[in-house]
Amino acid sequence: MIQAVLYERVTMMYRMTTLLMVPVVVSLFLPAAAAQAPESRISVQADRVLSPVSRYLTGACIEDVNHEIYGGIYSQMIFGESFQEPAPTTLKGFEVFGGNWRVQGNELHFTGSAGDKLVSDLPPFRDGEVGVDVFMSDGACSNAGLIVRVDNPGRGNDNFFGYEVALNAAAQNVRLGRHRKNWELIQDVPCEVPIGQWVALSVKLEGRTIEIFINGKSILRHEDGRAALLSGTVGLRQFQPEARYRKLWVNTGGQRRVLDFLSDTHPCEVSGMWRPIQTGDAAGTFTLKRDRPFTGQQSQCMTFVRGQGQIGVENQGLNRWGMSFVKGKPYEGLLWARAESSVELFVALENEDGSQTLAEKRLLVKAGGWQRLTFTLTPKQAANPGRLAVTLRQPGSVVLGYAFLQPGEWGRFKGLPVRRDVAEALIDQGITVLRYGGCMNGGCREHYPEYRWKKMIGPRDRRPPYAGFWYPHSTHGWGILDFMNFCEAAEFEYIPAFNMDESPRDMTDFMEYAKGSADSQWGSRRVADGHPKPYHLKYLQLGNEQHVDENYWQKFKPLAEAIWARDPEIILVVGDFAYGEPIHDPFNFSGAPITTLAAHQKILQLAKQHNREVWFDIHIRTDGPRPEFGGTFSFVDALEKLADGAKHRVVILEFNAGNHELRRALANAAAINGIERDGRIPIAASASCLQPDGQNDNGWDQGLLFLNPSQVWLQPPGYITQMYNRNYLPQLVQCQVTGERDALDVSATRSEDGHTLVLKVVNPTGKSVPAKIRLSGFVPGKPVAQVTELSGPLEAVNTADKPRAVVPQQRQWTHTFKDGTTRYTFLPYSITVLRFQ
């Protein structure tokens, strides 16, 4: 993902557009009153082959953004498996969405992760004033301040509607931005933000106008026009590790009200993704134990003190969206637990509120250290949503360190820790190459000490948790090797990305693990981990969205030499960034985080010196309806000038956007068309491969395949992958389009024997476009062509309730060619594949 996420897209190099999503039913027929553009002309010379077409332009990138892995493809049904999340903070009159908010005197102190929020339960209001005093003790800190007109908040960086008004001590400015489940910068205004002092920040709201004051002085007045959010409540939001607040106030209707910070009494200390269970008159206690934790920083202790009933904890999966249980199907689980005295523990599958027990098993925890307890539960009836409960029913105490629950073999893909329905849907989608990377691998931060491949092998219940980029309590339960296992089982080509801070020795060991003989040190470890044969690894990426500068070069060189020494055939992929403007001088350009390709030149020279091949991964925007290639193809030209014979290629492993609508499908299709016509890019992939429904929490609302606990469904951009894969042909032929500028985007391909011809046509406009199609060097032998068409409003999406609201339509078209010419009208906002035999 674009690196600027970490700084809340400070540079805003590329436009992000997210509109309200409205499902539609697609019609094959053009409405009678629809506007029509002037006729275009598509001229195809099918006997003029220009270049081969790569089979790997229908790829996808998967990472843990929005829980694509942990909560997504990973078969683990429990979220919060290691009890590392802190107990929820509770403040009277507020709801907490991440972070630790502590009341000290009349001040509120915050520690936590980027984007954590505290939202008042004050009823929504339209006009008024809001203010708070903010204290920053660190000049390196980024945004802290108010959110106003807040609506529909949830956990995650950008998971709310509202305006952000924030002070930035590092940049010395005040920021105004808009959130609509995403991030939209309105304006940064330079101003003094003192360190170590209280700063009075206030906002005046009048209709569509927002005015910001610092210490009583007006800093910015903005009219938001048609984009304005007109009503909501107030809150605080962080994008830094620490800050302090006091004197939060609201003035509505001429009445000023102070919103006091008062701690609420919390009945128990239970890790954040779990909830306590207390039934009957049973009394007990819950604490987070930080001495002798099973893993990480803490473990969960629960004690039954007295009474009749149950004391325990329950988990409902990813962000507590509920588990789905299928009647009569087994579920496999395990617990790590310890107890000072022997105690009986019960595990059960239950419905959402625990009023029905679907399956149950008794486990004995013996006195002593950590014990691994396995169980199988088969529900006697279905439940969706449901939960896993772990309880005590008599006096005693137990400490829980780790919990795991997954479907049996019936619900997993080829025995792997992978959801079967997700895996089969990815295969049906037509993905040909999968890349595992993005910000989770340390590319977006200078240092990720815990994201290392050696922490991702062995029994998954013994792998340590780590602080991920997207989620601070991530799991290594599904990592690089699990990704490789899945890709080989699914028969995908694959590209794993590694942390740039891996050591050369560790990468040498990885190459031996992946490709060494069974009797080598690390090859034998691979065999013990269940993969007797070496992996078919061809590509290995170093970093993600890096600034490829001298610092990157100094890390790349020793890693590359260590890897190539073990496998001279491996193709290393540089985790490059994005280039927003054309490059005319390779050593002096703008539109990117760097201004020179000097480090690229050194990498190319190294590849030539060792007679190895190196690729460069850059990313583009496909918010739609057209792609934004920026300086992509000029970057390819620039590398060719610098290569001096070094073997190299450029790949695009992330099409990025802020939506999953039809508009993105149009842009993705046109991007693939453009890459085919250029002919130099062997692999293209779209982010994000997966998205758990309703769990978008950081702005990257762009999933190709959506999922919830019980179903999966494709979004319009995912159908483009499917349409293009199913109509792949290996040779690009000459094709010209004339007529209204940018009305149609066309790519023409044919089979090697010349018997099949495919036109892929994108109409990114809101008008129907009639076109005259002229073929030379090809005469259709069949009177009908196969038509596959995806169209609808730009905002069209699929939902869990209507998963097939917008899908490709197929039909036979009698083309009536005469003298090599026919006509076809392309629907507004459409992607059309015409297949001639």
Query: pLDDT for 119-142, tens place per residue?
Result: 999 999 999 999 999 998 776 667
Q: Which of 379, 411, 443 is the last residue of a domain?
A: 411
Instruction: For residues 474-484, give the mean pLDDT.
Output: 96
Instruction: For residues 467-480, give the mean pLDDT.
Output: 89
Q: Count of CB atoms within 10 A of residue 284's CB?
A: 23
Regarding whether 746 and 629 lie in a shared domain, the answer is: no
CATH number at residue 305: 2.60.120.260
Regarding whether 701 and 554 lie in a shared domain, the answer is: yes
pLDDT at residue number 266: 57
Flag whether 484 is in a domain. no
Regarding whether 129 and 246 lie in a shared domain, the answer is: yes
Work out the pLDDT band at 267, boundaries 50, 70, 90: low
Q: Which pLDDT tens digit goes with each residue over 143-161?
A: 889 999 999 998 777 889 9
Flag whether 269 is in a domain. no
Q: Which pLDDT tens digit goes with each residue over 715-741?
A: 999 999 999 999 999 999 999 999 988
Strand ranges in 525-578 using DSSP code E only, listed in sequence order = 539-542, 571-575
Q: Which of 229, 158, 15, 154 is nearest to 663 (CA)?
A: 15
Maximum average pLDDT range among 101-110, 246-255, 361-370: 361-370
φ/ψ of 410, rounded to 5, equals: -60, -30
pLDDT at residue number 42: 97
Compute the distance between CA of residue 334 and CA of residue 326 in angstroms, rounded to an integer: 19
Q: Contact 296/477 with Cβ under 8 angstroms?
A: no
Q: Which two tokens stand for residue 302?
A: 């629960």
CATH number at residue 771: 2.60.40.1180
pLDDT at residue number 15: 32
Regarding whether 148 and 193 lie in a shared domain, the answer is: yes
pLDDT at residue number 170: 83
Strand ranges in 579-631 using DSSP code E only, listed in sequence order = 613-621
Residue 329 C-alpha from the chain's centroid = 30
Q: Contact 126/205 with Cβ under 8 angstroms?
A: yes
Q: Containing domain of residue 286, as a range? A: 274-411
Flag whether 360 is in a domain. yes
CATH number at residue 187: 2.60.120.560
**Pick from 304-308, 470-474, 475-479: least confident:** 470-474
Work out the pLDDT band at 281, boundaries 50, 70, 90: very high
Does the global pTM surpass 0.85?
Answer: yes
Flag whether 268 is in a domain. no
pLDDT at residue number 3: 41
Q: Which pLDDT tens digit goes with each residue over 159-176?
A: 899 999 999 888 899 999
Compute the distance between CA of residue 486 and CA of residue 235 in angstroms, rounded to an integer: 43
Establish how many alpha carbons lie within 13 A of residue 720's alpha carbon, considering only the half-sphere containing its beta carbon. 34
Position 387 pLDDT exceeds 70: yes
What is each CA distance from 707 to 253, 692, 722, in whole angstroms? 45, 5, 17
Regarding whether 336 and 248 lie in a shared domain, the answer is: no
pLDDT at residue number 14: 32
Contacts of 640 (CB under 8 A, 6+ apart): none
Q: Which pLDDT tens digit goes with each residue over 17-40?
A: 333 333 333 333 344 445 888 999
Regarding whether 676 and 541 lie in a shared domain, the answer is: yes
Regarding whether 680 and 774 lie in a shared domain, the answer is: no
Q: Which two tokens stand for residue 215?
A: 């210490």
pLDDT at residue number 673: 98
Q: Count of CB atoms within 10 A of residue 263's CB?
A: 14
Query: How does the average pLDDT of the chain come out, rounded?
Result: 91
Flag whether 88 is in a domain. no
Flag whether 278 is in a domain. yes
Contacts of 590 (CB under 8 A, 6+ apart): 581
Flag whether 504 is in a domain. yes
Q: Which of 223, 258, 293 is the last residue of a domain?
A: 258
Regarding whether 285 and 247 lie in a shared domain, the answer is: no
Instruction: For residues 619-629, give the mean pLDDT.
Output: 96
Q: Count of CB atoms within 10 A of residue 99's CB?
A: 22
Position 447 pLDDT exceeds 60: no
Regarding whether 253 and 178 lie in a shared domain, the answer is: yes
DSSP-derived letter for residue 744 is -
Percent share of the chain, pLDDT over 70: 93
The domain total for the chain is 4
Work out the pLDDT band at 241, boundaries 50, 70, 90: low
The H or E element containing residue 388 is: strand 383-392
More confident position, 91 or 413 = 413
Compute the distance between CA of residue 241 and CA of residue 467 in angstroms, rounded to an integer: 14
Regarding whether 762 and 683 lie in a shared domain, the answer is: no
Regarding whether 252 and 203 lie in a shared domain, the answer is: yes
Regarding whether 528 and 658 lie in a shared domain, the answer is: yes
CATH number at residue 591: 3.20.20.80
Flag whether 41 is in a domain. no
